[in-house]
Chain A
Amino acid sequence: NAGVTQTPKFQVLKTGQSMTLQCAQDMNHEYMSWYRQDPGMGLRLIHYSVGAGITDQGEVPNGYNVSRSTTEDFPLRLLSAAPSQTSVYFCASSVTGVSYNSPLHFGNGTRLTVT
């Protein structure tokens, strides 16, 4: 029972490099999302998806792209990394949206450092 799996756990990038953070869930959840966690700021929503082929922006989408070609996978792409993107990134999923009966299940996070 893997739940939400994020890879890699840690990553160091140089400014301007690109990379993809992977997220996969095996719970057949329709809703998937990406959050970033910064000290003193809690978690903020980057992008989310309510089903395969459907994505939308959250609070802080600039500098990030997403796609949802399958129900299971929701990768987050950084096209040109910047030091401001140094953060811990969490992928989370739920059955359908976020509600009392459909709370978010989180992955273990990816710590990204951009130098």
Chain B
Amino acid sequence: AQTVTQSQPEMSVQEAETVTLSCTYDTSESDYYLFWYKQPPSRQMILVIRQEAYKQQNATENRFSVNFQKAAKSFSLKISDSQLGDAAMYFCAFQTGANNLFFGTGTRLTVIP
């Protein structure tokens, strides 16, 4: 069974500071993809960043980067220079095969001005 665990239900960060959201997953597959989605109060799910498991280089998208540790099955999200607009629920998601994403339970991020 594929599982995704986000152990931090809530996190907070000062504006302009850096925060790291953790995610671990469990799978016996060797080929898979990992995603972070953001859900602001508008409810829409927005893709933040993605990672292919066979690539060792960590993905980066502007202020967002990941720390992908395949052996540890860990996929954390780092947000640098946090902005008020980063406040949202963040979901880690794992995919193997073509037909389903397995989501974690989410981390609610608060940005303090």
**What residues of chain A have their CB less than 8 Å away from a CB belonging to chain B?**
31, 33, 40-45, 48, 50, 56, 58-59, 88, 90, 92, 96-100, 103-104, 106-109, 111
Bound: A99/B33 CA distance, A: 7
Residue of B nearest to A45 (CB): B100
- Taking a contact as CB atoms under 8 Å apart, the answer to whether A56 and B105 are in contact is no
- Taking a contact as CB atoms under 8 Å apart, the answer to whether B43 and A88 are in contact is yes
Instruction: Please count how many residues in chain B sit with their CB below 8 Å of the partner chain's CB atoms.
Output: 24
The stretch that binds A, out of B12-20, B44-52, B79-87, is B44-52
Bound: A100/B50 CA distance, A: 7
Across chains A and B, which 5 residue pairs bring their CB atoms closest together, nearest first? Answer: A97-B98, A42-B103, A106-B45, A43-B103, A109-B43
Measured CB to CB, the closest approach of chain A to B60, in angstroms, equals 15
Residue of B nearest to A9 (CB): B43
Measured CB to CB, the closest approach of chain B to A77, in angstroms, equals 20
Report which of B33, B37, B46, B105 forms a contact with A41, defined as CB distance below 8 A.
Answer: B105
Measured CB to CB, the closest approach of chain B to A50, in angstroms, equals 7
Main secondary structure of the interface of B (DSSP, over half): strand
- Taking a contact as CB atoms under 8 Å apart, the answer to whether B100 and A98 are in contact is yes
B4 beta carbon closer than 8 Å to chain A: yes
Instruction: Report chain B residues within 8 Å CB of A48.
Output: 99-100
- Taking a contact as CB atoms under 8 Å apart, the answer to whether B43 and A42 are in contact is no
Report which of B44, B50, B106 forms a contact with A103, defined as CB distance below 8 A.
Answer: B50
Instruction: Report chain A residues within 8 Å CB of B103.
Output: 42-44
- Taking a contact as CB atoms under 8 Å apart, the answer to whether A100 and B52 are in contact is yes
Measured CB to CB, the closest approach of chain A to B46, in angstroms, equals 8
B111 beta carbon closer than 8 Å to chain A: no
- Taking a contact as CB atoms under 8 Å apart, the answer to whether A99 and B95 are in contact is yes
Residue of A nearest to B33 (CB): A100
Chain B, 66-113, CB within 8 A of any chain A CB: 91, 93, 95, 98-101, 103-106
